[in-house]
Structure 1
Amino acid sequence: MRKYLSWLAVILWMCLIFYFSHQPATESSELSTGIAELIEITVEKVAPNADFITENFHHLVRKNAHFFIYLLLGVLLLHALKLNRIGKYRAMGFALLICVLYAMSDEVHQLFVPGRGAQVKDVFIDSAGATLGIIVYSIINRLNSRIL
């Protein structure tokens, strides 16, 4: 049962990525602007003297979203593969390969969405996020096995 739930989590997360990528540029921009404004308000409360440039921060929010969404995809994929008793390094390779291929297909998908386009640098950001997620998951998994 755990195997099926882990794969369900992977599929649902990929659907969420697809959903965000399918948003036209105006909707996507509104979402990231709203998040950036919420963070800006929080920062102003915590550090009222901070010099904050919203336009630069908006770009940073968008790129970090790519990174962290794929970080979690890497973790979910590696977990699902490990539950299927695939060897450690093979599972890591498969998880990264699937993440990179999905990131590439995601950028191609955006070519067909109004106002959106494909960016190679986003594939690199996505891949870096997935790589970090896979590495962190592996380290935590190794530490857990030593403790238990």
Structure 2
Amino acid sequence: MENRTPIPDLIRPATQPADVDALLQLMETFCHHFGYPFDRPLRQQLIREMQENPSLGSLWLVMDENRPVGYVVLTYGFALEFGGKTALVDELFIEESHRSGGRGRQVLQRIQQTADELGVSVILLQTEKYNPRAKRLYESVDFVDQERSTLMWKK
């Protein structure tokens, strides 16, 4: 694995009201890219809720110079199985033109450092079966496929 020095100001917390528009634009691109539904008013409400209540998680903008080119959302939970506080990489997106240069790897390494500082015992994430590129990225920074059953939910 190539070990690169992290890019200064690679990510920054998206804690300001002005960050909401940048997040929404990137989230819309993410959703369209993967064919997920995008409900702008709901996303805006959820972003503000996270900004107002940091115990829910954290929002990060991925930067290139002074321009947001991606984002990461961590949500927090607690699991006995994993030794306490957990973080889920709920969404990670980097614009197509800023991929393949090691930026995703560096973002995940920075998120791992941040999680350690926050007392997180384990970072969880999921990826679609049809996205082997993402899986290779996650494995390159030591995420391990637990080979568990399909993600299930009930609304």
Q: Please, what TM-score do these two structures have when normalized by structure 2? A: 0.30
Structure with the largest fraction of helix: 1
Larger Rg: 1
Q: Please, what TM-score do these two structures have when normalized by structure 1? A: 0.31
Structure with the largest fraction of strand: 2
